């Protein structure tokens, strides 16, 4: 996935500075998660209490500065899941908040914000014989008129209850990290990873779980554009040319007839029906 020179620096306390803050990500409870600063031509991303990351203007170089006492695994995790997708957006790559799995009909992606069930769906499919590409950061590449799903990091992050319900304990785990109790399950055994690129077949935008049954509805093109925008990574949201280019590319992509809303009750018992509905839907030529 990555064409980035990534380096670890020595531990460094986070001190306040006068760099221009241009964006921030917050948790739903208002706790800050990521601060975005301009630093020279490039950027500095600060994860309070965890570490700082310098990102070059072209997204090709990243330097991590862990807060003393923060583990290397934690910094690697932040790099893979948060910083790298943003840096890749500076390289002009297409990165989405999405999980994706391989089906006989092509790759199927599930888009949605945290908590919508992307990783659970990816794990559920992977344990049923459909290999996964990613559980959270989907990289697409365009080849003429075809969009190719690229493999990402071969791991899936799950809460403990999802791991117990879907995978069990017979799986290799990455070392724990310091900002989430989610386990990172490494691919292998029944948890199959797809290491090759595949043509994108469908994109499903995950609902909030209020549906009483499995529900799949086609989205209009404008809904698709706004959904793609909302679920895409873009580091510099203040650069008009970059935002305009991003918008135009997503609008082009929205012309495809592959976008649907997907909702279902969030219950592990429902997952077999959800998988079946998605596979049947992905197989249909005129869905």
Q: Which residues bind other proteins (CB under 8 A)?
A: 220-226, 229, 237, 240, 243-244, 247-248, 251, 254-255
Q: How far is the CB of 218 from other proteins (least distance, A)?
A: 11
- For other proteins, which is the closer residue by CB, 165 or 242? 242
- For other proteins, which is the closer residue by CB, 237 or 283? 237
Q: How far is the CB of 230 from other proteins (least distance, A)?
A: 8
- For other proteins, which is the closer residue by CB, 72 or 255? 255
Q: How far is the CB of 254 from other proteins (least distance, A)?
A: 5
195 CB neighbour count, 10 Å cutoff: 11
286 CB neighbour count, 10 Å cutoff: 4
Q: How far is the CB of 235 from other proteins (least distance, A)?
A: 14
- For other proteins, which is the closer residue by CB, 182 or 261? 261
Q: How far is the CB of 45 from other proteins (least distance, A)?
A: 19
- For other proteins, which is the closer residue by CB, 174 or 226? 226
């Amino acid at each position: 996935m990555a064409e980035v020179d990534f380096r670890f620096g020595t531990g460094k306390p986070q001190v306040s500075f006068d760099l221009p803050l241009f964006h921030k990500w917050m948790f739903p409870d208002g706790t800050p998660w990521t601060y975005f600063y301009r630093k020279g031509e490039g950027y500095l991303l600060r994860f309070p209490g965890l570490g700082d990351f310098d990102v070059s203007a072209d997204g090709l170089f990243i330097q991590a500065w862990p807060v003393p006492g923060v583990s290397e695994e934690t910094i690697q995790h932040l790099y893979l899941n948060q910083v790298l997708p943003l840096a890749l957006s500076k390289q002009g790559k297409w990165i989405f908040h999405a999980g994706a799995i391989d089906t006989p009909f092509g790759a199927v992606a599930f888009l949605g914000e945290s908590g919508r069930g992307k990783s659970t769906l990816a794990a559920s499919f992977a344990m049923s014989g459909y290999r996964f590409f990613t559980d959270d950061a989907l990289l697409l590449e365009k080849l003429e008129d075809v969009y190719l799903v690229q493999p990402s990091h071969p791991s899936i992050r799950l809460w403990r209850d999802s791991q117990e319900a879907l995978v069990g304990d017979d799986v290799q785990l990455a070392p724990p990290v310091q900002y989430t109790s989610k386990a990172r399950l490494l691919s292998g055994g029944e948890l199959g990873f797809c290491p090759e690129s595949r043509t994108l077949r469908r994109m499903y935008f995950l609902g909030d779980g209020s549906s009483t049954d499995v529900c799949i509805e086609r989205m209009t093109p404008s809904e698709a554009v706004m959904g793609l925008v909302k679920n895409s990574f873009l580091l510099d949201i203040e650069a008009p040319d970059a935002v305009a280019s991003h918008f135009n590319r997503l609008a082009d992509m929205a012309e495809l007839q592959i976008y649907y809303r997907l909702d279902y009750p969030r219950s592990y018992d429902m997952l077999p029906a959800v998988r079946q509905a998605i596979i049947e839907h992905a197989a249909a030529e005129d869905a």
